Structure 1
Amino acid sequence: MASPPRVAVFGSVNQDLVLRVQRPPHPGETVMAKSVERLPGGKGANQAVAAARAGALVQFIGSFGEDEVGAVLRGRLRREKVGLTGSMTVPGPNGVAVIIVDDTGENVIVVPPGANDKLAMTEAAESVLTRVDMMLCQLEVPFEAIVDALRVSRAAGVLAIVNFSPVPSGPFPPELLELADVLIVNEGEARELGDRLRGATHVVTTLGARGARYRGPRGEASAPSPKVQPVDTTGAGDVFAGVFAASWHLGPEQALRRAAVAGSLATLVPGAGNCAPTAEAIDEAMRKAR
């Protein structure tokens, strides 16, 4: 039996403050929230949990605050069997995400980064990145740290998967694209990047309820998403990325199919941090889809 893939996730960890509303407010308008929840989140931590639940051996490299929130989030990742060997703790508060979810399941998000802004490459992180099969990162932490992680991965012959989200509003280092072996984007991010995606070896584009498509050296493929009635779309893209990384060893097309199914299942669970399905749930949904 083949050993599970070893995945390092380099990225953000937040506490999510989730406000549920009938609809988002217009500029200058106040609306009443129907509920408020504090949940684990951060694109990096979400993807780490998704990859671990999908069967990968995962190490998370992130920056935690010294506050109580940071301690809670560390404990939660350990319970999900996510290693923290390469992570760091810094003075100040942990990162937070304020998420407004409406009755259709759509969301808007505001993120004060907190400790995430202080993530940097350390000897411990470098050691982790040289002993895995692949590294998955996103863009909620400093670009300099991400580029350092990509360079270490490239030098070690480790596959680098970049979830190019959120797309920077201003200039960004070209290495974020140049050092990526696999790019994962949604349709809006693909439009923003335009021709700059052409140089990537492998490009995965998520299409929401329509599934996802892949372009690589051997051609193109697409995968549908199971039809579901979404409760909350927050975190579905993170689940897709984490499961795709955990399934890459099966080949791009199979990874695409598993990730599309997992992203769809994630919309059935409120919140971003706990919405990732298990490998067994993904397998069952794929059997039903066939």
Structure 2
Amino acid sequence: MINTTELLIDAFVADLQAGFRRTYGGMNPHYADIITWAGNMALENIANSDALYHNVEHTILVTLVGQEILRGKHIREGGVSCEDWLHFIIALLCHDIGYVKGVCLDDRDGWYATGDGTRVRLSPGSTDASLTPYHVDRGKLFIDERFGGHKLIDAEQIKRNIELTRFPVPKSIDHQDTGNCPGLVRAADLIGQLSDPRYLQKISALFYEFEETGVNKSLGYRTPGDLRKNYPKFYWYSVHPYITDALQYLSLTQQGKQIVSKLYANVFVVEHEEQREHEMLFA
């Protein structure tokens, strides 16, 4: 029997290995083996999630975009070490693992770790999306539990990278970074989502995740169409200021150029939908 999730994970992990060798050749070949293990471990966990949007496919898209961002940075500036690459990729693989019920050691008996030393009980029937308010801290806790004390993997470096994926972006100075690894991890998260060729079809899944956490009510969204209509404004005002460095790095590789094209294609489509509606209204 064909297991499409298994096929997807295997192809993705092979792509990560090839990406490392393309960038670093024969340097530290055991790092490619580490990322194979980490990739399989992370995605097998995420494959158990019942969140509608934050799933295996989202993590794969974000990680592949991040890999191209880092390649572009290394091409333009150099100085991106094999160790930087390893910790960057693991951070991307695990940036949303905090959504998954059961990944933290204190997740038991219907109670789930929040990542700050406490636990929370979810409403009956809640999906993993209900852990959205805690998922960054839970992800960092997962990193501590899995990689703390590891000889080759620096858990603190990975946690710094994951910390900057908080959204909306906190106003603290630390969260304003856009060009170093933590800021580029956030950029990969945002670009990986918004450059997905099927993102506009997936907006309904994101809407129902928002519905579970009360985000739709706070933002005034009543239907998935409302979320779609706000997409260009969200991109230009809430996302673009944090991805400008990453876009420059993506413009330096062939795959990166394709990612940028897909990103702007999605924005273009919705912007022109609004324009056509306006023209029809006043025709």
Both proteins in one fold, TM over 0.5: no
| TM-score class, shorter | under 0.3
* TM-score of the aligned structures, taking structure 2 as reference length: 0.26
Return the index of the structure with the highest Cα Rg.
2
Q: As a proportion of its length, which structure holds more strand?
A: 1
